[in-house]
Structures are given as C-alpha cells and as structure tokens.
Amino acid sequence: MARKIVLLGATGSIGVSTLDLFEASGAQVDILALTAGRNVALLAQQALRWRPRVAVIADEDRLPELRQRLEGSGVRAAGGAQAVIEAAAMGADWVMAAIVGVAGLAPTLAAARSGAVVALANKESLVCAGPALLATAKQAGGTVIPVDSEHSAIFQVLDPANAAQVSRLILTASGGPFLNWNKAQMARATPAQAVAHPNWNMGAKISIDSATMMNKGLELIEAAYLFDTPPGKIEVLVHPQSIVHSMVEYADGSTLAQMGLPDMRSPIAYAFSWPARMAWPAPPLDLAVVGALTFHAPDDDRFPAIDLARAAISLGSGGPAALNAANEAAVAAFLDRRIGFLDIAPACEETLDVMDRSGALTAGDGDPIEAALAIDAQARAVTARVVGALKAPLEART
Ligand code: NAD
Ligand code: MG
C-alpha cells in the first residue's frame, strides 16, 4: 500500500533529492502535501507531477500565483505559515522535514505531534528545541529518523543493545571550501566562494555553515540530543573526501563507520525505508577510484564554531537556540555582504555572551517551544546590534 507522505521544504536541495529518490526507486507514495517558502514556479511544477492533495506556499503574497499555476489541476493551493503547519499535521505516515532554519520548528513539531515518522533534515529545529521535539514524537507514538548524513551514519551503526559500551561518537566533516585557506584569504571570502562546497550540493545557508564549520557545531548539538550523548563524548574529525559519513567507537576497541558517496539520496532512502533497506539505482561507491581516505583534527583557530557549539550547550538549555539564531542572522548578513566571512563566528560569540549575561539562557518553567522561540527572537535582536556595529570596519577593509 502507498505510504502517505508530506514533504516540508519540497523545493529545496533535500526536497528535490527526496522526490528524485521516489522517482528513481518507484516507491509507492501517496503525497498529501508539498510545501515551499517562496519558489512558486518549482512548487507548482512538482505539484503537477506528483498530484498532492494540497500545495502550500509559506509566503502568502505568492498564493495568487500558485492558484493560477494550479488552476484546473485538482491540486488545492494554500498559503501562509499556518497552512504549512496544517500540512505537516495532515496525518501522513512519513514527513520529510526539510525546511531550512528555525522556520522549520513549528511545522516539524506539528509533524511529530501527528505521530508520523519524521525524517529530520531540519537540524535547526532539533538544535533549538531537541528534547521537546523528541519527547513530542515519542508521546505521539511516532519517531524521528535523522537525515543529516552524519547522524544517519551513526544511527546505522549505533547498536542500541550496546549503548553502554559506546565510548565516542565521531562526526566527520569535509572541512568545506576554505579547508586550506589562510585567515587573510578567509577574511576576503565572498558569498559565492563560501557557497561553493567541494563535495555536496546544498542550499545556501547550510553551505555557508559548512564553510564556517558552524554546520559541524550544530551537528554536534544535534548528535548530543538525538543519541542522548554528552558533548564531551562527541568528536569532530576532518575527512575531506566525505566518504566516511561518521563513526561510533565502542569500548572494546572496535570503531564502526558508515560509508557512501556524498549523495543525500542515500540517507534519505534509509530514513524512508527504516528499519528495512530499500533498493534504488544508487551510484556505487568504488573505493579504488576514491583511492585515499584521509583524516585530521579540525583547526579551532580558523574554525572556532565547533568550540562555540560546545560553549552554547554548557550555557544552559537556551544556549543552542541562541547560537542558532545568532548564526542564522549572521549568515544572512554575510550573504547580504553586510559583514565579512570571519565576522560570522565572533558575532555568534558576542551574542552568546550578551544572552548569557542577561540570564536568558537558563530554562524557566514555561513551554519549551515558546521558550526556544523567545530566545531566538532575543538573540536575533542582539546579533542585529552586533552586526550593525561591525559595518564600519568591513567598509574600511574593502
Ligand atoms: P534549501 O535552502 O535548498 O531549501 C529549503 C527549503 O525550505 C525550500 O523548499 C524553501 O522553500 C523552504 N523554506 C525556506 N524558508 C521557509 C519558510 N520560512 N517557511 C517554509 N518553508 C521555507 O535548503 P536545504 O539544503 O534543502 O536544507 C534543508 C534543511 O536540511 C536544512 O535544515 C539543512 O541544514 C538540512 N540539511 C541539508 C543537507 C543538504 O545536503 N542540502 C544535508 C544535511 C542537512
Ligand atoms: Mg551533515
């Protein structure tokens, strides 16, 4: 029987890869909803191909255009943030959560509340409200399956029967496009250079996060929540070939790794077919062609974001939400060329400092989602001030 599917963030890199996988594998799917942020043209094209019950555009101003493009197709058009949340809660068996940023939190939570299997790409929702999101899924009788390649790798080799014997989780990192750049070069890096990832073809925000290695910082927090592991037992290892997607080290001296080509359709396939495996025409991994797999420790001086993530966790339950918000705001400022590439991490650090001093990062008794969103808003305001103050030095530099 066809599985009922909702795709949140259908027009993004992960959304497109998910539909690609359905196409390539001939999976039996009944798509209830496809949602997008602003890309009406692609959303309409996908809706005409996949015939969901509803296509939702988050940007309400674009709803008339969506309606027009879907006229006579039998696919209902809807618009606005609330309509995205309603789509998430339509009663799907499987929801792909692939909206980028904290904008994905409410829809992802709604999917978890519906009891669906949530395939989680939207790492920011887990970073901001991990424990609440995981508890919600559990209470509803659903589950969260990681799509992020590193977490999928760990999920595939982490043996729950031997959880007590896990000594370390080892997250691999490609190192991004600036792996071998010096600080002077990084200071002048343009958004186009930062988005050009050597191994993975991804959305702009996560590509910048890979270049700063904030992506690995967010992934460290993601792993801590998903696998209920203290951050001190999670390490990062740079592996420029992106073939070993992550590893689990056991106390008996065995380290288990999961390997594959850098192709998100593989972790998406596992999240779709879990607990079984599915066949699709996956490009085979030929290690003789890859030749060498290399590994080294990250350079914390050029890439301070991993340490910032560790610091954020230690500041209290609101620390990760504040770091995530600061990073989203700083990345947006960098993409707009309002700050330089090397200003991103210091802007995050200063935001964390200000938020910590204000006492906002330790948990109150209220609703954890409301609390995360309140911290998100406060942190963005702080980052906006920090970024505003950075403007002059940047103009002086260029
Ligand atoms: P993307 O920018 O390519 O796509 C984002 C999707 O979210 C688009 O469909 C966009 O229309 C939608 N969207 C944006 N803002 C929205 C809003 N306010 N409301 C509703 N929808 C909105 O990003 P991506 O690369 O596909 O990444 C999606 C998520 O998956 C991110 O959290 C990212 O960290 C994670 N992820 C991506 C990859 C990858 O290879 N691309 C790998 C691991 C994890
Ligand atoms: Mg990843």
Q: What is the pLDDT along the chain (398 residues), one digit of tens a residue?
A: 899 999 999 999 999 999 999 999 999 999 999 999 999 999 999 999 999 999 999 999 999 999 999 999 999 999 999 999 999 999 999 999 999 999 999 999 999 999 999 999 999 999 999 999 999 999 999 999 999 999 999 999 999 999 999 999 999 999 999 999 999 999 999 999 999 988 888 999 999 999 999 999 999 999 999 999 999 999 999 999 999 999 999 999 999 999 999 999 999 999 999 999 999 999 999 999 999 999 999 999 999 999 999 999 999 999 999 999 999 999 999 999 999 999 999 999 999 999 999 999 987 778 989 999 999 999 999 999 999 998 655 554 55
In 279-394, the DSSP E strands lie at: none
Radius of gyration over every alpha carbon of the chain, rounded to an integer in angstroms: 21
The answer for residues whose C-beta is within 8 angstroms of residue 296's C-beta and 6 or more apart is: 237, 238
In angstroms, how far apart are the furthest CA atoms of the chain? Answer: 63
Taking CA atoms only, the protein residue closest to ligand 1 atom 20 is: 37
Looking at the CA of 176, name the nearest ligand: 2
**Counts for the chain of helices (H) and strands (E), in that order:** 17, 11
Looking at the CA of 17, name the nearest ligand: 1
List alpha helices for 59-202, DSSP H: 63-70, 81-88, 105-113, 123-139, 149-157, 183-187, 191-195
Report the distance separating Cα 214 and Cα 123, nearest Å.
12
Pick the atom of ligand 1 nearest to 122's CA. 32
Report the distance separating Cα 189 and Cα 187, nearest Å.
6
Pick the atom of ligand 1 nearest to 38's CA. 11
Would you list the DSSP string of 233-290? GEEEEE-TT--EEEEEEETTS-EEEEE--S-THHHHHHHHHTTS-----PPPP-HHHH
Cβ of 123 below 6 Å from ligand 1:
yes
Q: Per-domain residue ranges for the chain?
A: 3-146, 151-261+282-290, 305-397
Class (C level, CATH) for 3-146: alpha beta
**How is residue 2 annotated by DSSP?**
P
pTM of the model: 0.97
Cβ of 121 below 6 Å from ligand 1:
yes
Beta bridge partners, 35, equal 8, 56
The count of C-alpha atoms lying within 13 angstroms of the C-alpha of 287, restricted to the half-sphere facing its C-beta, is: 7
Cβ of 107 below 6 Å from ligand 1:
no
Does the structural domain 305-397 have CATH classification 1.20.58.220? no
Looking at the CA of 7, name the nearest ligand: 1
Taking CA atoms only, the protein residue closest to ligand 1 atom 41 is: 202
The count of C-alpha atoms lying within 13 angstroms of the C-alpha of 262, restricted to the half-sphere facing its C-beta, is: 15
Tokens standing for residue 43? 């959303």
Cβ of 97 below 6 Å from ligand 1:
no
